[in-house]
Amino acid sequence: MLNKIYKNIHNKYSTLFKFLFFLRYLFGIFFISVVLFLSIPQFFDFKKKDKFIKDYLLESYGLKLLKYENIKYNVFPLPNLEIQNVSTSIKADIIQMDVTSLNIYPKLLNIYDYEDFEANKIVFIKNKILLEEKNLKHLIEYISNLKNKLVFKNLDLKIDKNKSPLINLNNIFFSNYGYDKNIIRGNLFDKKFKILISDDYNRISFKLLKTGITADIKFNEIKKNSIINGVFKSKLLNSKLKFDFNYDEKKFTIYNSYFRSKNLSFSNESEIIYQPFFYLHSFFEIEDINVGILKNIDIKKNLASKEFIKKINTKNEINFKSKKFSQSLIDDLNLDISIAYGKLVYFKKFSISNNFFTCSGDINLLEEYPILYFDCSVKSTDKKKLLKKFSIKYKNKNELFNINVKGNINIFNNKINFKNILMNDNYKAKEEDLNYFKQVFETILFDKDFFGIFNFLKIRNFILEIS
């Protein structure tokens, strides 16, 4: 019975079975052909074909192949030509790159036909770019205008300004197509970062991962004379910064700026000129400040970078006006600070309940032990009212109190020297008086560090001691 069924099936479907068995040979032949087609180029000498490759890279990618060590054919993961230890340039040799491996993924037919060579994409692996800050825009223009597919893997980008290091980005990954299109990943200050770029390249979002630092830049249309402007927003932990900016080849201007944090709030306008020399001019309007944050400033550490301080050339104006019903000791403040060639010159004036204070002087920040010179004065029409601000009782009303003090402070060694002290045009401190004021000042106000002399309680104790 079973034999009869088998014979019926065999007679009816024998042709189909023969066809299926025949297909296995076709599949085998096809598989072997594909393997041979993809494998044979491994035996080619691609250096003899490098003219076609160079021409294609220059025409399609604007990439000039200056020199290389070898051209290798790889089958996996996709057929590609690996050009090893390459030196290349773009934008008329303005930007040069050293590439460990430049992989070109040709179209299948071009594995054999190089006269009309075309590629699906190129991938730079382990490459380095060192460029001046002024040439960064050329790199951005090159990438944004490129129509063909390109990938950077493990890119180290070092940016200098006047041959001095400005910023160093490591292990950058970037692709101008696909799922990761216009997403930049890498390391900055040994921290991972991520940058998202909009398709029209008018918006950049930056995140320094696991730090709470974010930034967002929105570019407006480029104005005449290649002026770039836009809006910058940033968050750093619990602080926020926002400003509008203009940028060109000579200066960077900040306006409509505001900064907000728990301990400090201010608005700001700045102009940074970097051609023909560096100069910074800023105006700050302080809205709120917790003077306690001054104790976190490490003066010795900040003044240790002498070479950097030499290059600072800046002028800053800082204004503060206390709000109504605030607990601020100072009603208003104006401070001018200029730094050039390591020398800081300052002038400040402020008022406390219509009592006016002025102070001017300078300090050479390049010295091993910087000395701050000062010439300060107080003009008060009511001494009682002034002392009341320090919770000190005084009987006489409307008593004039005018004082002028000159001297210098060693900010590292916590020492002060008074040159002279004049009060109400009828008192001039003698040598023993100057020594006494010096001893009390160093004991009460200057017992720890420089910023301790601004402590309210210490100032009150000092006044009580010398009264």
Strands (E), 44-94: 64-67, 70-74, 80-90
Q: Which residues contact 165 (CB under 8 A, 6 or more apart)?
A: 158, 159
Inter-residue contact 243 to 254 (CB < 8 Å): yes
Distance CA 359, CA 379 (A): 12
List all residues 6 or more positions away from 463 whose beta carbon is below 8 Å from its beta carbon.
387, 390, 392
**Mean pLDDT across the chain, nearest whole number?**
83
- For residue 253, what pLDDT is reported? 92
- To the question of pTM greater than 0.85 for the whole model, the response is no
The arithmetic mean of pLDDT across residues 365-382, rounded, is 92
pLDDT digits (tens, 9 = 90+) for 117-174: 888 899 999 999 988 877 887 888 888 888 899 999 999 999 887 777 778 889 999 9
Tens of pLDDT, residues 186-241: 998 888 999 998 887 788 899 988 888 899 999 886 555 567 889 999 988 789 99
Q: Which two tokens stand for residue 461?
A: 């104790």
Which amino acid would we find at residue 328? S
Strands 343-352 and 332-340, how do they pair? antiparallel
Residue 415 φ then ψ, to 5°: -125, 145
DSSP one-letter string for 403-445: EEEEEEEETTTTEEEEEEEEETTTEE--HHHHHHHHHHHHHHT
In 6-53 the beta strands, taken as DSSP E runs, fall at: none
Full 3-state SS string of 103-162:
EEEECHHHHCCCCCCCEEEEEEEEEEEEEEHHHHHHHHHHHHHCCCCEEEEEEEEEEEEC
Report the C-alpha gap between 423 and 79 in whole angstroms. 90
Higher pLDDT, 308 or 35: 308
Position 371 scores a pLDDT of 94
Asked if 266 contacts 284 with a C-beta cutoff of 8 angstroms, the reply is yes
Reference 124, options 172, 158, 159; nearest CA is 172
